[in-house]
Amino acid sequence: MNPLHAKSYADQAVQRTVEIVENARLAKDTYRVRFKAPEIARRIVPGQFLMLRITDLNDPLIGRPLALYDTVVEADGRPEAVDVVYLVKGKLTSRLWQMQAGQRVDVWGPLGNGFCQEPGTRGQEPGARNSTTHHSPLTTHSYPPIPTEHLIMVAGGIGQTPFLALAQEALHRKRYGEPPRDMPRARRVTLCYGARTAEYLACVEDFQRLGVEIRLATDDGSLGHHGLVTDLLQQCLAEHHGRPHIVCCGPEPMMAAAAKIAHEARIPCQVSLETPMACGVGICFTCVAKIRQPDGSWDYKRTCVDGPVFDAELVEW
């Protein structure tokens, strides 16, 4: 345990006041907001997030963490804008969905650690990690590299949002990061996605367009499997016999269940924790999660700088 050695810091982050380009309704209480932020768009990688706050408003006061959904690339290939998809459920999102093109929000990012990267492919200058002795990376967070033969993305609620960019990267449709990082190609990508009812399911057509295999579940049976998304995961594992790799994002009980399935099947699994945050950059110590340490004990780690993506084996559920 070394307190100064967070897995990463907000070293690529910029803070900007940006204009909303578009704010589109995708499903019940679910919207996609697009804003022009070239510096963030060209640096951010799948699984990373940014903080968003309504400019000059003191209530709500605190920013909200929102995962990258996708970047918008200009005709000349330059990433110019960022899309995030959000569920309206609190004070900030209740205002955000009503905001229109031209209105301003404050954003800062990219933040956090995205889905696992192979060593050296992170979008940063070579050797930056080891440029001083003060912040060498933690060795407890060495993920097996994605992809693999079969990338299985397990999403609950609004947890599908970090997976579109990841799927595009894994299928070699798009690159992210500065310089753009290279990921091994996945042979197959599956999305297991569960929501309360059919009317909450959002973004499915974006995944379809990529050729992602889609399995849906709803709590009320209004579409797809009537039951848990983890049932879909088990079905998927039973039907395919490649070397799968699971990534998971959603409510904590669902992620804990997926992690258990992965553990029992000895399949690598990464989870993106949705811990409430206040700053997003590591200064407030709000977003801690119990993370297992090399000596077997647990320690509270900041989800923003040590996560939000963790090896599921390290999370104390």
Partner 1 sequence: MPAPGSASEVDLSVQLGRLSLRNPILAASGTFGYAREMERLVDFARLGGILPKTVTRAPRAGNTPWRTVETAAGMLNAIGLDNDGIDAFLEHHLPYLRELPTAIIVSIAGKSHDEFVEMTRQLDGRPGVAAIELNISCPNVSGGVDFGTDVAMCFRLVESTRQATSLPIIAKLTPNVTRITDIAQAAADAGADAISLINTVLGMAVDWRKRRPMLGNVMGGLSGPAIKPIALRCVHQVAQAVKTPLIGIGGIATIDDVMEFLVAGATAVQIGTANYYDPTVTMKLMDALPAALNQAGVTSVREIVGTLKLA
Identity of the residue, 109 or 244, whose beta carbon is nearer to partner 1 in the bound complex: 109
**Structure tokens that stand for 316 in this block:** 């104390």
Q: Are strands 244-249 and 150-156 parallel, antiparallel or unpaired?
A: parallel
- Residue whose C-alpha is closest to residue 6's, from 313, 317, 228, 288: 288
Instruction: From residue 77, give the alpha-carbon distance in Å to each of 80, 276, 300.
Output: 9, 34, 41
Site residues, partner 1 (CB under 8 A)? 1-6, 9-15, 53, 58-63, 91, 106, 108, 134-135, 275-276, 278-279, 281-286, 288-289, 299-300, 305
Distance of closest approach, residue 133 Cβ to partner 1, in angstroms: 9
**Structure tokens that stand for 57 in this block:** 């408003």
Identity of the residue, 4 or 238, whose beta carbon is nearer to partner 1 in the bound complex: 4
Identity of the residue, 90 or 227, whose beta carbon is nearer to partner 1 in the bound complex: 90
- C-alpha to C-alpha distance for 21 and 227, rounded to whole angstroms: 37
CA 137 to chain centroid, in Å, comes to: 20
Question: Which residue is listed with tokens 């992170």?
Answer: 122
Residue type, 310: F
List CB contacts of 228: < 8 A, sequence separation 6 or more.
Answer: 194, 217, 254, 257
Distance of closest approach, residue 42 Cβ to partner 1, in angstroms: 16
Distance of closest approach, residue 284 Cβ to partner 1, in angstroms: 5
Distance of closest approach, residue 239 Cβ to partner 1, in angstroms: 37
Identity of the residue, 183 or 279, whose beta carbon is nearer to partner 1 in the bound complex: 279
Distance of closest approach, residue 4 Cβ to partner 1, in angstroms: 4
Identity of the residue, 91 or 185, whose beta carbon is nearer to partner 1 in the bound complex: 91
Identity of the residue, 5 or 260, whose beta carbon is nearer to partner 1 in the bound complex: 5
CB atoms within 10 A of CB 31: 21
CB atoms within 10 A of CB 89: 11
Identity of the residue, 108 or 143, whose beta carbon is nearer to partner 1 in the bound complex: 108
Distance of closest approach, residue 190 Cβ to partner 1, in angstroms: 32
71 touches 40 (CB < 8 A): no
Distance of closest approach, residue 209 Cβ to partner 1, in angstroms: 36
